[in-house]
Chain A
């Protein structure tokens, strides 16, 4: 799951010279994930994993790193 999320983020939403070097605890918001990108990411996740991610949980605690993102998705699976 983590690899798929990472691929989507760095192929579609954010540019990184070396996506492989981006770790599970690195900051996605610092990397450039902006408001529109977050919305697209959430919809990608909902379509890909068949979950519904509530609006009121859209917060840095759930989106800041790949690890947190993965945990958030798992909570709703």
Chain B
């Protein structure tokens, strides 16, 4: 059986896994969490896990080191791991605690299942958790995996080639060299300013924790209108990043650092395509803004928009791919240092960020239970020790603030989320 090798973006997430583990955390595990009205039948979920594993052997493969690189090999499993947790209390804190236990449960790389399904049951509702190991896919891929797991549609979906693989095959070595050089120059430019960091960890990270902020449909609509007004039609991602920068600045993230620097993914999948399910199909860009720009919303968003436009004009949205390809020949340690740190040794990312927009396809029900909501969780290295994951489900925006429990002050996180809401809705604080 032949399984795909890790593509450069997969390998990049494996490096982040290494860095997260070095921080003292479980590894690069993420979760897509569906909030269900009711409790689905266990047998039906288990059946679907088996069917899915038979259709897609990669879903139950495991990672194996082969020389300097890594590859998927068959694990011998014939079904996705599926576990049920029954809670004694209906308390939301109890549900979240169990969810975090799942996300914080580590295993060696070679024993990490690409996908696991967990059902957290309360009295009359439940959480269905798709936990995935990041080298297997990205957040959009996880949405597609979930769709394929539970879709009753028998319509054959035309398999799409991996966009990352396709681009790599299209480019000759000279084009790769030029793009890679552009990426290096871009990063060198970013490194002229020391990044603002939310945490200065004095001790090893303990475990990931989570705070959710939900907006109703009217608030979400207002936020999207604000995003369009401030950042134009191309700017929901930039709007969220800019608001977060201002919220962090308003709550005194740290006194050190000259600029906020935020990596964000450029997903290369075609929108509405139901495949490829597997493989990380992204390159990434940076949004950077000096602290002096943060005083004016208008100046900030105008700067971020111009920076984004210039980056895409220069092809920087693709330029990280050749660099990631070259990096995959380095040791995980060395690659990790280069990815995260400026030459001065300081962390480059002020926070991790992901915006997946509306879930596609959006499930109405899973195994007979109506889906009420959805959000995401992701481990994050420390520093920066803070990740913001944004997504929209049924017209409602959810912000998932992921951070390290023994390094972040609860009061500060509370202030940060309030400041973020004020920025998003453009209210005076």
A interface residues (Cβ-Cβ under 8 A, vs B): 12-17, 31-40, 43, 55-56, 58-60, 63
Contacts and interface: CB of A to CB of B under 8 A. Distances in A.
Interface stretch (B212-220, B286-294, B306-314): B306-314
Interface string B305-348: 10011001100010000000000000000000000000000000
Leading 4 A-B pairs by shortest Cβ distance: A32-B271, A15-B273, A32-B272, A15-B270
B265 to A, nearest CB: 9
Nearest to B273: A15
A62 B274 CA distance: 28
A72 B308 CA distance: 22
A9 B308 CA distance: 20
Contacts of A16: 272
Contacts of B235: 35
A12 B318 CA distance: 13
Contact of A39 (B158, B271, B308, B357): B308
Contacts of B271: 13-15, 31-34, 37
Contacts of A36: 234, 237, 266-267, 312, 317
Given A39-B308, A55-B309, A63 B233 contact: yes
B172 to A, nearest CB: 19
B233 A14 contact: no
Contacts of B237: 35-36
A15 B160 contact: yes
A34 B271 CA distance: 8
Contacts, number: 55
B104 interface: no
B236 interface: yes
A14 B203 CA distance: 46
Interface in B260-281: 266-267, 270-274
Chain A contact surface mostly:
helix
B272 A31 contact: yes
B232 interface: yes
Contact of B236 (A12, A35, A43, A55): A35
Contacts of A38: 233-234
B158 to A, nearest CB: 8
B233 A35 contact: yes
A14 B312 contact: no
A45 to B, nearest CB: 12
A58 B232 contact: yes
B72 to A, nearest CB: 25
Contact of A12 (B267, B270, B309): B270
Contact of A43 (B270, B272, B312): B312
A37 B357 CA distance: 13
A30 B331 CA distance: 44
B272 A14 contact: yes
A43 B316 CA distance: 13
Given A12-B270, A39-B308, A59 B233 contact: yes
